[in-house]
Amino acid sequence: MRVEMEFLGSGTSSGIPTIGCDCWVCHSTNPRNKRLRSSVLFRIGAGENETRLLVDATPDIRLQALRADLSSIHGLLITHTHADHCHGLDDLRGLYWGGGREPITLWAYPESLASLKRTFAYIFDADYEYKGIVKIDAQVFEHEPFEAAGVTVQPIPVVHGNMRVAGFRIGDCAYITDTNEVPDSSIEKLKGVKLLILDALRRAPHPTHMSLPKALETAEKIGVERVFFTHINHDLEHESVNKELPEWARLGCDMLKVALEEDGKITVTEPDSNGRPLPIAF
């Protein structure tokens, strides 16, 4: 089973460039330094049988769906409910229409679903009078693997300050954002993962996110073949940081696709090598 993870966004909560910032990364003309809010699209299988699972609904989801040529999904996996990960929930109506107005199935921790129901009460209100909104079929998970549109997803709990965030493992690929600590019990659940996307906010330690050194150490502890970092702030300039990193580790960037092929090989498709424009303007 081929599993691809496409970076819809690789930036921290403010996005890069950050409003009002004069730093050189925010003013870089290199498209790889333009970062929408962090999200990936899992593409499992290929062609007609491809299953698309979206991770999080960022405030940038409209742009992310347009530039990824994404018009429908088979499910939505929620990591946690900080605004940069879920405030695009309303804009999923485009994907709901594209999917033939079948409710979008959303999977989340119980506390995340409760939080979404408070923030987006109208979406979960069956009697809401305005009909032009997304329809959601809400499901919860805890520790056990669950089936999302026929795909087995293993939730991986990680620590994000005082809250838990869900990472997701599908086959031997995993996506983990917004964490300062991956507990040993979760490292165990990640054993055998070959391809990982992991939070690495900046160089210096941070109370709720991984620093670059800590992220490298965590990826090594899991024993992955390749790791790509996400949720990156303006401390990390794409090209110069990538030159410092070991061969098996790289900063992710928007529109990058990384895949674990059926034969076990990892393939990396740069945003400008598949005919699509780089994300230079928004």
Binding site for Zn ion (CB under 5 A): 13, 18, 21, 23, 26, 82, 84, 178, 234
**What is the DSSP annotation of 147-212?**
EETTEEEEEEEEEETTEEEEEEEETTEEEE-S-SB--HHHHHHTTT--EEEEE--BSS--SSS-BH
Quote the CA–CA distance of 177 and 199 in Å, as a whole number.
5
| Nearest distance, CB of residue 26 and Zn ion, angstroms | 3
Write out the two tokens for 245.
């990193």
Nearer to Zn ion, 18 or 72 (CB): 18
Nearer to Zn ion, 23 or 133 (CB): 23
Nearer to Zn ion, 12 or 154 (CB): 12
| Nearest distance, CB of residue 96 and Zn ion, angstroms | 24
Nearer to Zn ion, 51 or 58 (CB): 58
| Nearest distance, CB of residue 7 and Zn ion, angstroms | 14
Helix ranges restricted to H, the chain? 61-67, 83-86, 93-98, 110-119, 184-189, 212-222, 238-244
Tell me the backbone φ, ψ of residue 151, rounded to 5 degrees: -105, 135
| Nearest distance, CB of residue 274 and Zn ion, angstroms | 27
| Nearest distance, CB of residue 17 and Zn ion, angstroms | 6
Quote the CA–CA distance of 281 and 228 in Å, as a whole number.
23
CA nearest to 199, candidates 187, 207, 191, 211: 211
SS3 63: helix
Contacts of 119 (CB under 8 A, 6+ apart): 81, 86, 87
| Nearest distance, CB of residue 216 and Zn ion, angstroms | 20
Nearer to Zn ion, 91 or 178 (CB): 178
Nearer to Zn ion, 3 or 26 (CB): 26
Query: What's the chain's length in residues?
Result: 282
